[in-house]
Amino acid sequence: MTLAGLSGISMCILMTHLNEIYCDANASHPLLPLVSEKLSEAMNEQSWLLSNPSSIHQRGQKAKSLVYLAKKLLIEKIGRADAEEIIFNSGATESLNSVIQSFQDSGDCVFTTNLEHSAVIEAVEASKASVREIISVDSKTLWIDEEALFEKMDSLRSQQGQRRFLFVLQLGNNEIGSIYPLESFLDRLRSYAREHGIDDQTFVLIDCAQSLCKLDDAVLRKVLYHCDYAAFSAHKIGALSGCGALWLRSGVPYQNVFYGGAQEKGRRPGTSNIAGIYSFYIALKYWSANQDALMDRLTQLRDHLYAGLLKIPGMTFHAFSVEKKSSFLPNILNFKVKDCPDESLLLNLDLHNIFASNTSACHSGTLQASHVLKALNLSDEEARSSIRLSLSILNSFEEIDTVIQTLQESVQRILENRKNAEVLFPEIISQ
Ligand SMILES: Cc1ncc(COP(=O)(O)O)c(C=O)c1O
Residue 111 sits at φ, ψ, to 5 deg, of: -115, 140
Domain ranges for the chain, please list them. 3-30+290-429, 41-288
Of all residues in the chain, the percent with pLDDT exceeding 70 is 91
The dotted CATH code for 41-288 is 3.40.640.10
Listed residue (381, 359, 361) closest to 371, CA to CA? 359
pLDDT in tens, 386-396: 999 999 999 99
CA distances from 95 to 119, 255, 370, 409 (A): 10, 11, 23, 43
Listed residue (340, 348, 326, 330) closest to 386, CA to CA? 340
Give residue 343's pLDDT: 86
Bridge-based pairing of strands 108-113 and 131-135 is: parallel
CA distances from 50 to 34, 153, 274, 275, 347 (A): 19, 49, 7, 7, 41
- Residues with beta carbon inside 6 Å of ligand 1? 91-93, 117, 119, 170, 174, 207, 209-210, 233, 244, 360-361
Q: Looking at domain 3-30+290-429, what is its CATH homologous superfamily? A: Aspartate Aminotransferase, domain 1 (3.90.1150.10)
- In the predicted model, what is the mean pLDDT of residues 145-164? 94
- Looking at the whole model, is its pTM more than 0.85? yes
- The one-character DSSP state at 160 is S
Other residues' Cβ atoms within 10 Å of the Cβ of residue 300:
14
Listed residue (168, 156, 153) closest to 121, CA to CA? 168
Site to probe by mutation for ligand 1, drawn from 236, 243, 388 as the one with most ligand atoms within 8 Å of Cβ, is 236
Site to probe by mutation for ligand 1, drawn from 100, 114, 174 as the one with most ligand atoms within 8 Å of Cβ, is 174
Which of 119-123, 255-259, 315-319 bottoms out in mean pLDDT, i.e. has the lowest?
255-259
- In the predicted model, what is the mean pLDDT of residues 309-326? 95
Give residue 419's pLDDT: 80
pLDDT in tens, 165-209: 999 999 999 999 999 999 999 999 999 999 999 999 999 999 999
Q: How far is the CA of 211 from the centre of ligand 1 (A)?
A: 11
